[in-house]
Amino acid sequence: MNDRKKAKLILIRHGQSTWNADNRFSGWVDIPLNSTGRREAMEAAQKIKEYAIDVCFTSMLMRAKETTAICLTENSDRCEKKSPVFKHDADNPNWHGWDKYDGYIKEEIPIYTSPDLDERYYGDLQGYNKAEMAEEVGKEIVHQWRRSFSTRPPGGESLEDTAARTIPYFQKQILPYLKDGNNVLVSAHGNSLRSIIMHLDNLEESEVPGLELATGIPIVYTVNEEGKIVDKQILE
């Protein structure tokens, strides 16, 4: 692996989606970026262009994968040296496995997708307008559904439930790359990233309601060879 002593972990919430613009609960509904979201991703690509990305992780949802692709392809210098390649689960019986190749073209930037990085599941709320739901059941209840740690929306996941899949995935799949000195890009969602940031920043449950993530804004952690965070920057 890479011999750098300190790696960069770049977290980015996907650019604005069509349902973000409509103020709707998206959850696991596979919504694409809109024009604003694509512009945000292109701007993010310029903000992180100084970092040579070695490996990427993203969710299974289109808005996160689109953001990943734009971040890696809108910097021509990077793509002239490495080619981003989405990797598929060879153990999935539904995957045909035809993406194998032997010929060397140029060095890859592997992109691994996982449902463990998907947005929290909003259950019965998916598709509803957030403001209209607040009028129907009350602002405080909707705030609890959206921002508390342990409260589940009807039929959905709490942030605690989300953390139960995102943090083990981070520790098992992502952290080893960082310890080896690789720069890692993670493109995911407001809540899947909130749960990871809670872990990285050692936040208490009481601090969760105030943790907000804007779309398309990279957060860069510096990680040493022991996997410890030594610096954090928000590239606004």
Task: Give catalytic residue positions.
Answer: 14, 119
Q: Which two tokens stand for residue 79?
A: 């793509």
Q: Is 26 annotated as a binding residue?
A: yes
191 is an annotated ligand-binding site residue: yes
Q: Is 122 annotated as a binding residue?
A: yes
CB 47 within 8 A of CB 233: no
Q: Is 212 labelled as part of a ligand binding site?
A: no
Residue with tokens 């989405």: 86
Q: Is 63 annotated as a binding residue?
A: yes
- Is residue 147 marked as binding? yes
Q: Is 121 annotated as a binding residue?
A: yes
Name the residue with tokens 């690789």. Answer: 182
Residue 27 among known ligand-binding residues: yes
CA distance 174 to 5: 16
For residues 134 and 145, what is the distance between their CA atoms, to the nearest angstrom?
11
The answer on whether 51 is annotated among ligand-binding residues is no
Q: How far apart are CA 183 and CA 221, in angstroms?
A: 10
| Cβ pair 186, 193 in contact under 8 A | yes
Give the C-alpha separation, 24 to 13, whole Å.
Answer: 16
119 marked as part of a ligand binding site = yes
Cα atoms in the Cβ-side hemisphere of radius 13 Å centred on 106: 8
Could you give the CA distance from residue 183 to residue 178 in angstroms, rounded to a whole number?
A: 7
Which phi and psi (to 5°) does residue 171 adopt? -65, -40
The reply to whether 120 sits in an annotated binding site is yes
Q: Is 126 assigned to a binding site?
A: no
Residues belonging to the binding site for substrate are 13-20, 26-27, 63, 119-122, 130, 146-147, 190-191
Residues belonging to the binding site are 13-20, 26-27, 63, 119-122, 130, 146-147, 190-191
